[in-house]
Amino acid sequence: MPLLTNHSNNSQLEARLPRANTLDVPLQNHAVNILNVFRFVLSLVFIISYLYLGKESLWQSEHSLLTFKLSVAYFIFSIFILLISPLKSDVYKLSLPFQITADIVFIILFMFVAGGITSGLGILLIIIIVIASLASNGRLALFYAAVASIGLLLEQSYRMLLDDISATSFTQPAILSLSCFATAWLAFTLAKRMQHSEALASARGIDIENLSQVNALIAQEMQDGVIVVDEHFNIRHSNIQATTLLSLPIGNVADFTLKHYAPEIAVMFNDWLDELDENNNASFTINNRELKLRFMPINQNIDTQISNRRSGAVIFIQDLSQIQTAAQQAKLAALGRLTANIAHEIRNPLSAISHANQLLQEDEKNTASTSRLLQIVSDNISRIDQIIKDVLELNRRDRTYSEKIALSDFLTNFHSQFCAVENIPSTHFQLQSFQDKNFMFDKRHLTQILWNLCKNGWEHSQKQIGSLSIGVQDLSKTGLNIIIKDDGAGVAEHDQARLFEPFFTTKTTGNGLGLYISRELAEANGAKLQYQALSPGSAFIIHLKKSS
């Protein structure tokens, strides 16, 4: 089942066919090679027959010396042509008609010394004309026939003058001449047909090769995984995406079967072969990815829609998690733009409300219940203002200003500042010792990420000595891990998958943007933020790329 089909019609294809010149296509090359070998073998046969079969076995005794000289000359001529034929130069191409004319002359001379038309050597002219017609693309076929006919008639005329034979002896040369013309015409027609067929096959071969390369390129660049499987579950082809999704090996490996490398798909493929699948859009999970499969038979008639599943299938693999992530990113991007505009509009009336609330709180006539209500208003104003700040910061996540950061100095300053602002004893929030390292990051973003994670960890911890800690793990060449641990109750297992979703929170006063913003800022700087459950407690890990 090709991924692309060729819609070119025959007229367009014929317009692209190359115009074949002499020695430009394999057919003509083969014909020239055959002619060279035929010439060499024929001259060698003449010499051997003269030397070993006796002078009178084939040649007339009065011309025996001339026969030997002609055989040697023809042999030298054939050797010379064999030596220059590999050059394939323009001079050699132009000399081809002269070579064939020389062959015709030599054969007519051999006929003369062998007794004329009755010697039977005239059949060699037919062979020469056929091969020569193919070698010259059929264009000079009639010319060679004319040269052979003229030679035959001259030879017979000369023999009439010598031997005083009757005019009726021209019958055989005339018939042989007509045979030469008939053979030349047939050879001309055959050469044209073969040339057209060869050029047509060559053009179609080029089209098929181009289509094959285009199909391979499309398959490799597809976002979906594609694997081709035969009826024996052997994987015949897989693109880059399928190799990544299924962790397939690269290169030639033994036992490269679906059962060995993707047994889950093999089971579904077996059901599909037996037509036991209720639908052709099965889903399953592999390598922590939710994948969707679609089977298409290789041998399928597009017109009748009749398919033979037993010939194998092309399996398309969609990464549903990637699709869902892309959809969520698009949704969040639109939501971010909307909320950013709303946030700017809310801030002005919110500032007025906040200012009015502060004036009311300063009134000395306020009762206890009034002061409590005004404080509730103030707390919620602060909460709304924090949400607005988080939303605006979220929309600035792509504006990173990376700089070289010395990890030891940065974490020491952050630790002292966080303890002072959040009023946390340094014994309760411990900074573990580590070897100083350097890396590239936006300092403002890293501060916000660590502040969100440490504040979240402190709020969920037991608030005792060592309840919160921050440390560094050196991963050698791959980078660094900054690890924030707490001794809290941790996150419920069913909530861990939604932990980094926006507006998801388990706190009654939280807005659910802290962890989401932290992860977005980390990814904007080329880092990764992950959650790890501990016993007891939790850990957030920031994986950084080390710069030196």
Is it the case that residue 167 has pLDDT exceeding 70?
no
- Comparing C-alpha atoms, which of 160, 52, 46 is closest to residue 110? 46
Looking at residue 233, the DSSP 8-state letter turns out to be: -
Is it the case that residue 278 has pLDDT exceeding 60?
no
Predicted confidence band of residue 24 (pLDDT cuts 50, 70, 90): very low
- Comparing C-alpha atoms, which of 140, 147, 157 is closest to residue 177? 147
- Residue 227 sits at φ, ψ, to 5 deg, of -130, 140
Is it the case that residue 472 has pLDDT exceeding 50?
yes
Looking at residue 403, its pLDDT comes to 87
Please tell me the chain's helix, strand, coil percentages from 3-state DSSP, rounded to the nearest 5. 60, 15, 25
Q: 183-186: list long-range contacts, CB under 8 Å, 24+ apart.
A: 183/126, 183/129, 183/130, 183/145, 184/129, 184/133, 184/141, 184/142, 184/144, 184/145, 185/141, 185/142
SS3 state at 268: helix
- Residue 298 sits at φ, ψ, to 5 deg, of -70, -45
What is the per-residue pLDDT across 228-256, written as a single tens digit (0 to 9) for each?
Answer: 888 888 888 788 888 877 778 776 666 78
Better-predicted residue by pLDDT, 146 or 511? 146
Looking at residue 3, its pLDDT comes to 43
Looking at residue 206, its pLDDT comes to 86
Predicted confidence band of residue 522 (pLDDT cuts 50, 70, 90): confident
pTM beyond cutoff 0.85: no
Looking at residue 161, its pLDDT comes to 78
Better-predicted residue by pLDDT, 279 or 463? 463
Average pLDDT, the chain: 77
User: Could you give the CA distance from residue 453 to residue 254 in angstroms, rounded to a whole number?
Assistant: 48
Better-predicted residue by pLDDT, 282 or 482? 482
What is the per-residue pLDDT across 329-339, written as a single tens digit (0 to 9) for each?
Answer: 676 667 667 76
Domains and CATH numbers, the chain: 13-205 (no CATH), 223-322 (3.30.450.20), 324-394 (1.10.287), 403-544 (3.30.565.10)
Burial (CB < 10 A; 0-12, 13-18, 19+), residue 327, is exposed
Is it the case that residue 84 has pLDDT exceeding 50?
yes
Looking at residue 59, its pLDDT comes to 53
Q: Which two tokens stand for residue 447?
A: 């501060």
Percentage of the chain beyond pLDDT 90 is: 1
Looking at residue 56, its pLDDT comes to 54
Is it the case that residue 186 has pLDDT exceeding 60?
yes
Whether the Cβ atoms of residue 443 and residue 403 lie closer than 8 Å to each other: yes
Quick one: average pLDDT of 295-300?
A: 78
In single-letter form, the type of residue at position 369 comes to: S
- Comparing C-alpha atoms, which of 159, 35, 30, 56 is closest to residue 101? 35
Looking at residue 116, the DSSP 8-state letter turns out to be: G
Q: Which two tokens stand for residue 8?
A: 């070119």
Predicted confidence band of residue 7 (pLDDT cuts 50, 70, 90): very low
Predicted confidence band of residue 368 (pLDDT cuts 50, 70, 90): confident
User: Could you give the CA distance from residue 309 to residue 188 in angstroms, rounded to a whole number?
Assistant: 49
- Residue 274 sits at φ, ψ, to 5 deg, of -85, 5
SS3 state at 470: strand
Residue 297, beta-bridge partner list: 313
Is it the case that residue 203 has pLDDT exceeding 80?
yes
What is the per-residue pLDDT across 384-413, written as a single tens digit (0 to 9) for each?
Answer: 777 777 666 666 555 677 888 888 888 888
In single-letter form, the type of residue at position 24 comes to: D
